[in-house]
Structures are given as C-alpha cells and as structure tokens.
Chains A and B, each alone.
Chain A
Amino acid sequence: MKLVVIGCGRVGSAVARDLAADGWDVTAVDEQEEALSRLGPRWSGGFVVGHGMDAQILRKAGVPDADAVVVATSGDNTNLVIGQVVDKRYAVPCVVVRVLDPARAEFYAARGMRTICPTQTAISALTTAVKKESKLGATA
C-alpha cells in the first residue's frame, strides 16, 4: 500500500514513520529539506522537497498511484486546497486532511472531506478531563 504524506512536520513525520513501520510504502513531501531529519536516520521511504500545491511535485511523490494521502502542512487553507486537488484530480481513495480551525474542519467535513481537527480533539479532552476531575472533587 502506498502513502504520500504532504507536510513533514511533527505530525506528518510521525504518521509517515508509524505507517512505514507497519509496512506501507511511504513518501513524504516538505518544502524544507531539513524536514527529512524528522523521519529518522534509517528512513528508507521516499522524500520529495517541494510545495504540495505544485502539481509536478505531487506527481513526483507518486500521488496519482497512492492508496492514501495525508495532508498536514502548517497552513489550514493550504491543506484544504491540496486535499481537494488530490481527491478531485487523482481520485486517491483515502485523503485525510489536518485542519486546526474547528469551524473550517466542520465546514469541509460536511462537504464530504475527511478532516482531522487536533484543536477539537484537545477541546473535548480538556473539557472531559475537567468535568471528571470536578466530579471526583465533589465526591471527595
């Protein structure tokens, strides 16, 4: 199975390493060449330097034959555009897009896009933790 990860920051690089360890054929894309170091010294997957908005870079990374693409650059709007381009132009079966702004994540999720919003996850986890703690406090 082939995976392309666009944006090789803390999130992208960890996803790339995890799935490569599971046996996926992974190629990471990042504008910064230094991002390669995040993949570790024994990285045997692919790495392409360039911007995910560049159609040539997407082809070079193997997006047209990918089974899955994860889009996790630092820009929400960049991710939303790249995610739609990958889905519409290359019909990649699984496209997952990281969006930090909960409102935009929900807006595009309602339009059929698979968005992951770490902010929303944090909000839910924090709220739940506080509710649980205060309940414990009340009974103590």
Chain B
Amino acid sequence: MYTIVAGGGKVGANVARSMLAMGHEVTLIEQRPYRYEQLQEEFEHQVLLGDATELHVLELAGIGRPPELVLGVTGDDEDNLIICQIASEGYRVPKVIARVNDPRNQEHFDLLGITQTVCATANVLGLVEHEVPEHGIVHLLELRKENLEIVELQIDKDSPVAGKRIGGLRLPDGSRLISVMRNGRSELAEDTTVIRPGDQVLAVLEPGKEDELRRILLKR
C-alpha cells in the first residue's frame, strides 16, 4: 500500500517507521529544515522537504498516483484539514486520516467532511473521565462514520433498573446494551440478564441519546 504521511513530528515519524516495517511504501513530508535533516538520516529518500499543503509538494510526493492513504498529522489543524481535503477531493485518495491537535477544532473537521480523525487530547480526556465519571456515563468510543458511540454506565443500588431483566427494559430508540461486567467478569447482555447494583454496563447508542439512557438506567 502506498501512503503519504504529511508531518514528520513524533506522530508522523513513528507512523511512517511502523508502516515501512510492515512492508508498505511511504513518503514522509516535513517542512522544517532542521527536522528534515534528522529524518533524512533514518528515512533517506523516503522523506521530502516541503509544505504538504502546497500542491506541487504533494505532486512530488506522488499524490497523483494516487496513494491508497494520506495522513495529515502535522501540529497544525488547519494544515491537516487542507491536506486531507486536497487529497480526497482533488486527487481522489480513497482514505484520508487527520490528526486533530485542539479538540475544539473537531467540529470543523466534521463540518468539512473529514470524518476520519484522531485526537490524542480527546482520548486522554476520555480516559480521565473513565477514572472520574462526572454524570455516571463514560464515553469509551466514538464511531463517527457509523454515527454511534459506546458508553459505560455504573449501576448503583438506587438505579431504577437494579434487579430487572434487560428484556423488560424500555430503552431509548437507537440504543442497545452490549455487556454487563460484574466482579471483574464481562458477559454479553441477553434479554434474560438481570442487572445488579455494582454492575458496569456497556451500551451502544446514537450520539445525543445519552441523557435519555441515563434517565432510564440511573434516574439522574
């Protein structure tokens, strides 16, 4: 598979190294001359000096072939967005993935059609939230393309569903319970599964249904 990696910082360089080790063909683009020189020692002809938002630089990197994959992983969100737009709209690259540095910019990527994004800050925050659940509901995974998310809820003794069978619950449309974890062991959620206080329940739902689900399972 041919991949262009735009941005030779820690993320870009590590991804490029791993993909090369997997046997893929990679061109890495880096615009800072001092960083480029460092990268050249390792990546040799597979790294290119230039601004990956300039069309002639992308052309030199072989965007016209086109590659199967382009990664916009610079430290600048606007650059990543433009790189991915040029690749997918201008050169019909089938798959583009953008790094989101500032989670507040996520909405711009969504609005402008860059659906595959990775945001380290948001991921770390998600893990922090997992340790300190604020409203009893923890976001574990967002599946943007599918318009679904996976959340975790902690059932306590005041929960209105404690002691009830899953089959008898009136869950919001567009949501479903996946599994129940009890005493460190997980089992798939069946209609006959009875929810107990202390259970950790995983649910899949459409974004926006969290409040409804929380009211039904936790009554808060």
Measured CB to CB, the nearest residue on chain B to A101 is: B54
Q: With A54-B104, A78-B78, A81-B81 known to touch, is A103 a contact of B111 (CB < 8 Å)?
A: no
Measured CB to CB, the nearest residue on chain A to B57 is: A103
Does B143 sit at the interface, judged by CB under 8 A? no
Q: With A103-B54, A103-B55, A107-B90 known to touch, is A85 a contact of B111 (CB < 8 Å)?
A: yes
Min CB distance, B54 to chain A, in Å?
6
Q: Which of B78, B81, B112 has the most chain A CB atoms closer than 10 A to its own CB?
A: B78
- With beta carbons under 8 angstroms apart, the residue of A75, A76, A85, A104 that contacts B108 is A85
Judge whether A77 and B76 touch: CB under 8 Å.
Answer: yes
Q: Which of B65-91 contact A (CB under 8 A)?
A: 76-79, 81-82, 86, 89-90
Q: Which of A54, A55, A103 has the most chain B CB atoms closer than 10 A to its own CB?
A: A103
Residues on B with beta carbons closer than 8 Å to the beta carbon of A78: 78
Judge whether B112 and A81 touch: CB under 8 Å.
Answer: yes
Does A88 sit at the interface, judged by CB under 8 A? yes
Main secondary structure of the interface of B (DSSP, over half): helix
Does B56 sit at the interface, judged by CB under 8 A? yes
Judge whether A81 and B82 touch: CB under 8 Å.
Answer: yes
Does A69 sit at the interface, judged by CB under 8 A? no
Does A97 sit at the interface, judged by CB under 8 A? no
Judge whether A53 and B108 touch: CB under 8 Å.
Answer: yes
Judge whether B78 and A77 touch: CB under 8 Å.
Answer: yes
Does A5 sit at the interface, judged by CB under 8 A? no
Judge whether A104 and B78 touch: CB under 8 Å.
Answer: no
Judge whether A81 and B55 touch: CB under 8 Å.
Answer: no
Residues on B with beta carbons closer than 8 Å to the beta carbon of A55: 104, 107
Measured CB to CB, the nearest residue on chain B to A80 is: B82
Does B53 sit at the interface, judged by CB under 8 A? yes
Judge whether A84 and B54 touch: CB under 8 Å.
Answer: no
Does B123 sit at the interface, judged by CB under 8 A? no
Q: Contact string, A101-138, partner B, CB cutoff 8 A, digits 1/0? A: 10110010001000000000000000000000000000
Does B38 sit at the interface, judged by CB under 8 A? no
Q: Which of B26-50 contact A (CB under 8 A)?
A: none
Does A89 sit at the interface, judged by CB under 8 A? yes
Q: Contact string, B108-142, partner A, CB cutoff 8 A, digits 1/0? A: 10011000000000000000000000000000000
Judge whether A84 and B90 touch: CB under 8 Å.
Answer: no
Residues on A with beta carbons closer than 8 Å to the beta carbon of B56: 103
- With beta carbons under 8 angstroms apart, the residue of A76, A85, A88, A111 that contacts B53 is A76
Residues on A with beta carbons closer than 8 Å to the beta carbon of B108: 53, 81, 85
Residues on A with beta carbons closer than 8 Å to the beta carbon of B76: 77
Does B105 sit at the interface, judged by CB under 8 A? yes
- With beta carbons under 8 angstroms apart, the residue of B53, B77, B105, B112 that contacts A84 is B112
Min CB distance, B108 to chain A, in Å?
6
Q: List 10 A-B contacts (CB under 8 A).
A: A53-B105, A77-B79, A78-B78, A85-B112, A88-B112, A101-B54, A103-B55, A104-B55, A104-B82, A104-B86
The 7 closest A-B pairs by CB, nearest first: A77-B78, A103-B55, A77-B82, A81-B78, A78-B78, A77-B79, A88-B111
Interface, chain B (partner A; CB < 8 A):
53-56, 76-79, 81-82, 86, 89-90, 104-105, 107-108, 111-112
